[in-house]
Structure 1
Amino acid sequence: MDATPSIRVILADDHQVVRHGIKQFLSAAGIAVIAEAENGEQAIHLIEQHRPDVAVLDIQMPVYSGIEVARRVRAKGLPIGLLILTAYDDDPFIMAALEAGVNGFVLKTADMEEIIDAVRAVHEGKSALDPEILPKLMRAVAASHEVKKTVEPLTEREMEVLQATARGLTNKAIGLMLGISDRTVQGHLRRIFEKLNAASRTEAVVTASQLGLLNLPTSHETPPD
């Protein structure tokens, strides 16, 4: 294990005991919790101040919910990984979180190792979805999109980018694989989002699966966000 933690995290939860427990096992894994927030307003302030690698957010918090924090962070264009860690797994919460631009959604009932892995995945630009969430996510996407037989076709290059996205590759890795720049990858993803009416990488992959364009991974690997 590296002596210097490689990932800087802000932890937002209105229960001090929960924050303490999460901080302990993240720290033991070499992940530094650099600041803690007990409400959404404080979380936004600390994120702006410290610019962490990852913000771990509860959904139900005073002032602003974790979902509202995610919306505001994304609106500011801050390049921070956002992980929802919550006890709530209702379909509307899942979809609202994805639409807000979170990179992961994990339940508090998950094992410590799963939460640690989720933080690391989000830091790497991947998605982290609790295995119990994926069926709910697919139902939620199906309910929110009237999934049609035909959409504006994806180009061959867009399909290559989408397939690489579903495998968990970051923009940089996709660019290296396809011989294009990170900026070009980002442009392809923007067009993919528009064509699939998706608000995030995860939603794009799940929607493409609903349309029969992709097969979702069957293991614990999940599409990045």
Structure 2
Amino acid sequence: MNSIRVVIADDHRMIREGLKQLLELDGDIVIIGEAGDGIECLEQIETKKPDVLLLDINMPRMGGLKVLEKLKEMKSTTKVLILTIHNEIEYLLKAVEIGVNGYVLKDSESDLLRKAIFAVYGGETFIQPNMIPLLNEKLESREDMTSSENLLTKREMEVLRLITEGLFNKEIAYNLSISEKTVKNHVSNIFRKISVSDRTQAAVYAIKNNIVDVL
């Protein structure tokens, strides 16, 4: 597998240097650029086109959420993983609304960050598991769960629960003892039935409709 090309956007140089040393240890990830503010971050994305952007929320000149909005407007193919100190649910909700690919807290274990990077690079969505209860509490509008259960098959419900836990398709296949191709078919059917376009939206739908248990 080719190394995952990453740009780090954080206004603290020591954090950028520490992340670079940590993530490049085994060669699976290579840091191709760094940015200390939002404007510089957009320039790095435009010129270097990384696979994944590690994006802080609090940055000078342009904050991380605004950068995320700009990247969506630009239709950038770079996957965006927010890495922040903010565990307030409002930041996560806003990021999900804009279309973030992942959200991880800076006090997380390094293995969790690496898993998140590989997840978003592979087209998965990764929201830090211990943020899920906060997300669940904040979502006030809930639809009737019965209609969702009637809409999805039992197997699709199982797949949706595992999507919400941030599992890769391969991990879902292993957990359910089915092929990865079958998982992909289930995911496509789920997206179509609940009218969403990505795994983040599917996860939020599942939580909002009480389809998943609080982790």
TM-score norm. by structure 1 comes to 0.74
CA-to-partner distance for each residue in 1:135-175, whole Å, 9 max, x for gaps?
112223x13xx113279768558x849935725439xx999
Equivalent positions of 1:106-145 (< 5 A) are 106-140=104-138, 142-143=139-140
Q: CA, structure 1 residues 188+132, in 2 after alignment: closer, same or farther (shift >3 Å)?
A: closer
The alignment partner of 2:129 has SS state of coil
Pair 1:8 & 2:13 matched: no
1:163 to 159, 162, 168: 159
Runs of 4+ in 1 over 4 A off after TM superposition: 150-157
Pair 1:147 & 2:142 matched: yes
Q: CA deviation at 1:8?
A: 0.3
Equivalent positions of 1:197-212 (< 5 A) are 201-212=199-210
Q: CA deviation at 1:207?
A: 2.7
Q: How many residues align?
A: 202
C-alpha root-mean-square deviation of aligned residues, in Å?
Answer: 3.3
Match of 1:64 in 2: 62
Q: CA, structure 1 residues 29+85, in 2 after alignment: closer, same or farther (shift >3 Å)?
A: farther
CA–CA distance in 2 between the matches of 1:70 and 1:207?
21
CA–CA distance in 2 between the matches of 1:175 and 1:189?
17
Amino acid in the other structure paired with 1:8 = R
Amino acid in the other structure paired with 1:192 = I
Contact (CA 8 Å) 1:29, 1:116: kept in 2 or not? no
Match of 1:189 in 2: 191
TM-score norm. by structure 2 comes to 0.78
Contact (CA 8 Å) 2:99, 2:200: kept in 1 or not? no
The alignment partner of 2:116 has SS state of helix
CA-to-partner distance for each residue in 1:95-154, whole Å, 9 max, x for gaps?
1111121111111111122212211111111222223312112223x13xx113279768
CA–CA distance in 1 between the matches of 2:77 and 2:95?
17
| Unpaired segments ≥5 residues, structure 1 | 219-225
